[in-house]
Structure 1
C-alpha cells in the first residue's frame, strides 16, 4: 500500500513537472514570436541586432577605457619631465599612421605598458618600473608595439569581435531554450513517473545533455576564435614595431627583461608576457602568445634584415 502511494505521488509529481516545464517552454516560444512580430522581416531583426551590438560595444569600450585609466591613478608625463621619452615618441608617431597619444605613468604592479583608444586619439600608460628596467631602445620597442595597437584600433576591434561572439552565443542559447526546458522537464518528469527521481539515464536526459554540451562547445569555439585573433594581433604589433624601429631585437630583449623581472598578473596589460606551456588548453585560451614564440619571430626578422632577405611572417602582416 505504501509503495502504491509513493508511486502515485511520484507519478503525480512527474506529470506536474512535465506540464510545468512544457508550459515554460511554450511561454518562451510565444515570447519570441511576439518579439518577432514587432519587426516586419528577419533582415530588420538582424540589422537591429548588429546595430545594437555595435553601439553597446562602442559605448562600453569608450567609457570603460576612460574609467580604467582613471581607476589606476595615472600621472600625465609632460614633455618637460621626460623630454627624451617624448622625442622618441614623436619619432615613432611620425613614422606611423596614428595621432600622438597622451603619455601617462602609473604603478601597474608589474613592469608593463598598455594602450587605450584608437588611431585618432588614445593614451599610452607605462609602468614606472620600465624606466629602470629597460634602456631607451628597448623602451622604444615597447612604445612602438603599443602604438601599433592604436594604429590598428585593436582595442575597439577586439571589443566588437567579442561583442558579436557573445551576441551570437546568446541568440543560439535563446533559440535552444525551449528545447532545453522541454527536455529537462521530460527527463525529470519521466524519472519521477518511473519511481526513480534521481535517475538521469533516460532518453530525454541524454538528449538534454547532448544539447547542453553542444551549446557549451559552441561557446568554447567562439572563445577560442576570439583568443586566436588576439594572439595574431600581438604578433602583428610586434612586426609593426620591428618595422618602425628597425630594431627587432630591441623589442625581443625588452620582452625577455619583462619576463625575467616578473610574471604579470594584471589582466588588462596588452604586452603582458606569457611563458611557454605544454597544456594545449592553456595555450588556446591565452590572449597572448608565449614570450618564446614572440622572441623567436623577432629573431628571425632580425636575421632576415642582416642578410638582406625578407622572410614571410604569415597572416599577421
Structure 2
C-alpha cells in the first residue's frame, strides 16, 4: 500500500508539472530549459547527496576499531538485508537521531549521532539501524530525488511565471488568460508540490519502519526507540540545515498551522501503532 501511495503521489507531482508547463507556459523553449535546469540541479544534488548530507552535520567516519559493536550491528543487519555494508559515520551531537544517505546501496552511508548511541539500549539501536538500512534497500534516496526534481521544476517554472507577470506580461501563450488564475498558479503550485513531496517522505517512513520490524523481528524495540527519540528531540533538537530534516529517523513536532500537511514524518503515535500491529517471527538479538 505504501508503495502504491508513493507511485500515486509521484504521478500527481508529474501531472502538476505537466499542467503548469503546458497550460501556463505553453510548453515553450523557456519552460523546457527551466525543467532541464531544475532536473540537472536536483539530480546533481542527489548524486552527491551522501557528501552533502554528511558534511552538513559534520559527520565523521568511524572505524571498526573505534566502534566495534556499532560496526558489527550494521554489518550483520546489512547482510540480512542483502545489501553491501554501508560506511558508518558518527555525528558529534548530543541530540539523538540517525539517517541514511547515498544514491544506491553500493554508495551508501549510515550516520548516527553520539547522542543516539549513548541514549538507546542495543535492541532499540538495532531497530533504528534496520530502519535506515531499509531506506537504502528500498532506494528511498532515489525516490526522494525524483520527487525533489519534479517539485523543484514546478517551483522554478512558477518563479519564471511570476517574473513574467511582474516585468512585462509573459509570452503570447498566456494572452487572454485570467490574471487571477495565473497568480493563483504562481502561489499555489509550489505549495502543492511541497505538500505532495512531503507526503511521499511520510509514506517512505512507514515502509522503512515495517522493513526494520521484519529485519530484526522485534517491532516493539523500534516502537520504544521512536518514543524515546521523539521525547529527546523536544529536549535537544538536531542542529543543522532544516532542508535535510526528511532524512532523519525522527523530527521535532511542528508547531506550524496545518502541521500535518507540512510534516516531514508521520506522527510518532501512528508509527508506533503500525509497528505494534506487525506480526513477525522472533529474530536473534545482537551478539
Query: Taking structure 1 as the reference length, what is the TM-score of the superposition?
Result: 0.66
C-alpha RMSD over aligned residues: 3.1
Match of 1:166 among 152, 157, 162: 152
Quick check: 2:254–2:263 contact (8 Å CA) kept in 1?
A: no
Counterpart of 1:243 in structure 2 is: 214
Counterpart of 1:272 in structure 2 is: 250
Tell me the CA shift for residue 180 of structure 1: 6.0
Counterpart of 1:287 in structure 2 is: 264
Tell me the CA shift for residue 213 of structure 1: 2.2
Larger Rg belongs to: 1
Aligned length: 241
Match of 1:113 among 92, 98, 101: 98
Over 3 Å counting, the alpha-carbon distance change for 1:181 and 1:209 in structure 2 is farther
Counterpart of 1:300 in structure 2 is: 277
CA–CA distance in structure 2, aligned partners of residues 163 and 209 of structure 1: 27
Spell out structure 1 runs of 4+ moving beyond 6 A. none
Counterpart of 1:214 in structure 2 is: 185
Q: Which runs of 5+ in 1 are unaligned?
A: 1-31, 38-44, 185-206, 307-317
Paired residues for 1:1-317 under 5 Å: 36=29, 53-117=38-102, 118-171=104-157, 174=160, 178=164, 208-263=179-234, 264-266=237-239, 267=242, 268-269=244-245, 270-275=248-253, 281-301=258-278, 304-305=279-280
Return the structure number with greater helix share: 1
Over 3 Å counting, the alpha-carbon distance change for 1:67 and 1:180 in structure 2 is closer
Over 3 Å counting, the alpha-carbon distance change for 1:273 and 1:52 in structure 2 is closer
Deviation digits for residues 59-91 of structure 1 (CA, Å, limit 9, x no counterpart):
223335314323533332221232222222122
CA–CA distance in structure 1, aligned partners of residues 56 and 184 of structure 2: 39
CA–CA distance in structure 1, aligned partners of residues 40 and 163 of structure 2: 26
**Worse overlay, 173-182 or 282-291:** 173-182
Query: Taking structure 2 as the reference length, what is the TM-score of the superposition?
Result: 0.72
CA–CA distance in structure 1, aligned partners of residues 186 and 82 of structure 2: 41
CA–CA distance in structure 1, aligned partners of residues 217 and 185 of structure 2: 48
Quick check: 1:231–1:288 contact (8 Å CA) kept in 2?
A: yes
Over 3 Å counting, the alpha-carbon distance change for 1:67 and 1:165 in structure 2 is closer
Over 3 Å counting, the alpha-carbon distance change for 1:283 and 1:134 in structure 2 is same
Over 3 Å counting, the alpha-carbon distance change for 1:61 and 1:129 in structure 2 is same
Quick check: 1:276–1:291 contact (8 Å CA) kept in 2?
A: no
Tell me the CA shift for residue 210 of structure 1: 4.4
